[in-house]
Structure 1
Amino acid sequence: MTEKNILAYFKSPEEAEGAQRKLQALRVVDMSITRFSRYPGEGYDPVNMFSGEWSSLASLTQDAEITNHSAGILAAADPAASGMSDGGQGGPTGRDILLTVVVDEGSHHQALRIIEEAGGML
């Protein structure tokens, strides 16, 4: 049988984990949960925040690893850098958790229903 891929976005890891538990009853080939951001990296080390060794405002406010000066300026211009953005960590939708699922074609529609019922956005 052929396989189908599903990418679903959730607002919290707990929502995605709930869908993951229900999906395990199907013929799941592979499944993972990941948090993503529009900026790369794991962010800054808060212990060294006062040392002045941070590359941009975005590295402090958005957990971004800025690799050069120009990228730091661009990222700091984002409304989220000021802390005044209401979009949350995942942007305007607040969905920054990605559930990736690979299922057999016969289980695809059932998997889609499970994900939508768990609050996932396809």
Structure 2
Amino acid sequence: MAEKNILAYFKSPEEAESVSRKLQALRVVDLSIDRISRYGGAFTAGASPNGLISTLGTGAAGHPDAGVMAAADPSASGMSHGGSGGPTGRDILLTVVIDEMTFHQALSIIEEAGGMI
């Protein structure tokens, strides 16, 4: 059987989790939920929940460039309001690989839950 993929964007992880539970009833091959950030990789320390960088250059293991980018950000100096900001609004990405037979049903579930495809 053929497979199709879906990339859907949500406003909160809870919205994406709710949809993922509904999609599990379909023939889901693979599913992941990730947060999109301004820089690649995640931060182990230094990035506060409001997005401000409290410690310069603290990228996650395996993502040293993320720390460099964070240290170069205008908001890192404390002398700026942060510039243009990063992704806001729909920064939660739900990625689904699903059987072709249930593809349209999955799209409907995601759209009804407020996901943007």
TM-score greater than 0.5 by the shorter chain: yes
CA displacement at 1:38 relative to structure 2 = 1.9
Structure 2 match to 1:45 = 46
Structure 2 match to 1:24 = 24
User: Does residue 109 of the first structure (1) align with residue 104 of the second (2)?
Assistant: yes
Whole-angstrom distance in 2 between the partners of 1:101 and 1:54? 35
**Normalising by structure 2, what TM-score?**
0.70
The alignment of Structure 1 onto Structure 2 pairs a total of residues equal to 100
1:60-106 alpha-carbon deviations (Å, 9 max, x no partner): xxxx93326xx744x327xxx61687x7x633xx1111100000101
Kindly report structure 1 stretches of 4+ aligned residues shifted beyond 6 Å. Answer: none
* SS of equivalent to 1:67: helix
Check conservation: 2:3, 2:99, Cα contact below 8 A. Answer: yes
Whole-angstrom distance in 1 between the partners of 2:87 and 2:25? 29
User: Does residue 65 of the first structure (1) align with residue 66 of the second (2)?
Assistant: yes
Q: 2:113 aligns with which of 109, 113, 118?
A: 118
Structure 2 match to 1:61 = none
Gaps of 5+ in 1: 56-63
Whole-angstrom distance in 2 between the partners of 1:66 and 1:45? 9
Structure 2 match to 1:76 = 74
User: Does residue 97 of the first structure (1) align with residue 98 of the second (2)?
Assistant: no
Task: State the AA in 1 paired with 2:113.
Answer: A
Check conservation: 2:74, 2:82, Cα contact below 8 A. Answer: no
Most deviating of 35-44 and 19-28: 35-44
RMSD between aligned alpha carbons?
A: 2.9
Check conservation: 1:8, 1:121, Cα contact below 8 A. Answer: yes
* SS of equivalent to 1:98: strand
Check conservation: 1:10, 1:119, Cα contact below 8 A. Answer: yes
Task: From the two aligned structures, give the one with the greater helix fraction.
Answer: 1
Percent of pairs with identical residues: 60
